[in-house]
Amino acid sequence: MSTSIDPRTPVLVGVGQATDVFGSDDYAQLSSADLAAAASRAAIEDAAGNGIGELIDVIACVRPMELSTPLPPALGVSTKFPRSVAHRLGITPEHAVLEVVGGQSPQHLVNEFAGRIAAGEYQAVLLAGGESLSTQAHFGGREDAPDFTEHPDGEWDDRGAKWEGLLTDNEIAHALFIMSTTYALMDHARRARLGLSVADYAQQIGKLFAPFSEVAAANPLASTRHVRSSDDLAVPSAKNPLISDPYTRWVVAREKVNLGAAVLLMSVEAARAAGVPEEKWVYLHGHADGKELPFLERPDLSTGPVAVRAAQQALEMAGVGAADLTTFDLYSCFAIPVFNITDALGIALDDPRRLTVTGGLPFFGGPGNNYSMHAVVETVNRMRENPGGYGFVGANGGAMHKYSVGIYSTTPVAWPGDAPSLSDEGERLTVALAAEGSGVIDTYTYSGDEQLGTVLGRLDSGERFVAHVPTDDPLFDLMRSGEAIGATVKATSADGINTVRLA
């Protein structure tokens, strides 16, 4: 029993998930708000307490994808998303919050509101998110499309999308909003640092993700439940085409899913008053949030040092090491965010504990910014099944711009205290918006249809640049063969677009 613990200590007391599988017999055309509400209802029921709805001070929602881009929502959207979720639940919390963009959001919200409960600001906080991406992809532009537009009442705090710092005009002009391109640039940089061939690196990616497919195969909510071997994943085929070298389709996030997830946080005092059984309680033993340098300003594109520091800080706060962990969920939209943590913590790719509790974004699915809420839900469930164990959740946002970490356990512990947000104070490169002159290639990628080649490099002045490569230039042949890094090029710029050719 935890009778001596501070009554303001935050605990996770309820978790829930929901799905609406497109094309299934019970497919119901649920909106993102519907899915978030269904998951929230499940989380409240999971807590098994009394009158919990009346105790909720705050509902904080992960920003759905239809509110995360400049494009108008294909099927409409709630103008006050968290209030729409609350209305479906029949609750009227005093505060409603919509978080900024980024896959770090779910874990960051846990970290933030656990701290605010510990400070005595709130007694119960509902965190929720939902994505109807399959439905939106299918019905967009069709006459029979559902209309998800809503205009609910109530005060709310919209924190804004906050794309500032995640994408510059220069990056947009060079199509770095295509995340498979941006992440492939980082994975090729890591490949070069390790001295691996493209084929060997593809096999390493396959070895990384094959166990993820095994976890997904056992998860009834996973979007694909086929076990894949490392060769299945690494070798391009008609069913598994190259997307952005070195990525095949099966090793990148699968976004067309309809999923919702929610977590209920309460103070120990409120949980006791509501009669939530203590075997439901899971504590946050360690946490951290960090922000990397802007993408093009990073001297080393092969790693994310702030994410590593965040992982280390959370583990130190919890008083455990990687060897003490029972479960992991390492954000897996692409390979490099996973490698970044396994490299730093010395975790083997075939660790029998597995590196995901859901199946990961390529197999479980990538429900927009809300994936890691599912990771938190599954981690809480695993901790309840393994009392005294420790679960690690690492949540990644942007192009490895942001990282949030949580360490979970059923072992009672006092709130470990707030932690300062981490940032990279090291060297920053100057970016040449209009690249002219001689330079060297740092990293590269090209699209699977070989219609777009993208490189990052440094001019003789030391300035970083991004550029496209004409498909008829010999440099494109070097990219196909995996020998482009270190090549000397000549850069030119016109109309805001940089182009390089082999010197």
Mark whether 52 and 190 lie in a shared domain.
Answer: no
DSSP strand E in 172-212: where? none
For the record, the structure tokens of 432 come out as 């040449």
Mark whether 157 and 201 lie in a shared domain.
Answer: no
- Residue where one domain finishes, among candidates 398, 423, 448: 423
CA distances from 435 to 7, 249, 431, 473 (A): 59, 32, 9, 18
What range defines the domain where residue 488 resides? 437-502
Cβ(493)–Cβ(461) below 8 Å: no
- Domain-embedded: residue 482: yes
Mark whether 310 and 370 lie in a shared domain.
Answer: yes
Report yes or no on whether pTM surpasses 0.85: yes
- Domain-embedded: residue 457: yes
Mark whether 246 and 259 lie in a shared domain.
Answer: no
- Domain-embedded: residue 5: no
Q: How far apart are CA 333 and CA 184, in angstroms?
A: 11
Mark whether 415 and 443 lie in a shared domain.
Answer: no
The vertex-385 CA angle with 380 and 391, nearest 5°, equals 45
Any idea which residue has 């532009």 for tokens?
141
- Domain-embedded: residue 459: yes
Mark whether 28 and 70 lie in a shared domain.
Answer: yes
Mark whether 242 and 265 lie in a shared domain.
Answer: no
- Residue where one domain finishes, among candidates 251, 282, 307: 251
Cβ(81)–Cβ(61) below 8 Å: yes
CATH number of the domain where residue 103 is located: 3.40.47.10
- Residue where one domain finishes, among candidates 251, 267, 294: 251
Mark whether 285 and 408 lie in a shared domain.
Answer: yes
Q: β-strands 391-397, 327-330: how paired? A: parallel
Q: Among positive and negative, which fits the CA dihedral 352, 355, 359, 363?
A: negative
- Domain-embedded: residue 135: yes
Mark whether 198 and 219 lie in a shared domain.
Answer: yes
Mark whether 234 and 218 lie in a shared domain.
Answer: yes
Q: How far apart are CA 322 and CA 317, in angstroms?
A: 13
Using alpha carbons, select from 310, 314, 316, 317 the residue that is nearest to residue 292: 310
Cα-flanking dihedrals φ and ψ of residue 339, to 5°? -55, -35
For the record, the structure tokens of 89 come out as 């639940």
- pLDDT for residue 70: 87
Q: How far apart are CA 298 and CA 142, in angstroms?
A: 43
- Domain-embedded: residue 411: yes
For the record, the structure tokens of 178 come out as 């295509």
For the record, the structure tokens of 206 come out as 């396959």
Q: Tell me the pLDDT of the chain (503 aa) as tens digits.
A: 566 899 999 999 999 999 999 999 999 999 999 999 999 999 999 999 999 999 999 999 999 999 999 889 999 999 999 999 999 999 999 999 999 999 999 999 999 999 999 999 999 999 999 999 999 999 998 999 999 999 999 999 999 998 887 899 999 999 999 999 999 999 999 999 999 999 999 999 999 999 999 999 999 999 999 999 999 999 999 999 999 999 999 999 999 999 999 999 999 999 999 999 999 999 999 999 999 999 999 999 999 999 999 999 999 999 999 999 999 999 999 999 999 999 999 999 999 999 999 999 999 999 999 999 999 999 999 999 999 999 999 999 999 999 999 999 999 999 999 998 999 888 999 999 999 999 999 999 999 999 999 999 999 999 999 999 999 999 999 999 999 999 999 999 999 999 999 99
Using alpha carbons, select from 116, 108, 62, 61 the residue that is nearest to residue 404: 108
Mark whether 399 and 269 lie in a shared domain.
Answer: yes
Name the domain count of the chain: 3
- Domain-embedded: residue 2: no
Mark whether 197 and 344 lie in a shared domain.
Answer: no
Q: What is the DSSP letter of 273?
A: H
CATH number of the domain where residue 468 is located: 2.40.50.840
- Domain-embedded: residue 381: yes
The string of DSSP letters for 435-500 reads --EEEEEEEEEEBTTS--EEEEEEETTS-EEEEEE-TTSHHHHHHHHT--TT-EEEEEEETTEEEE
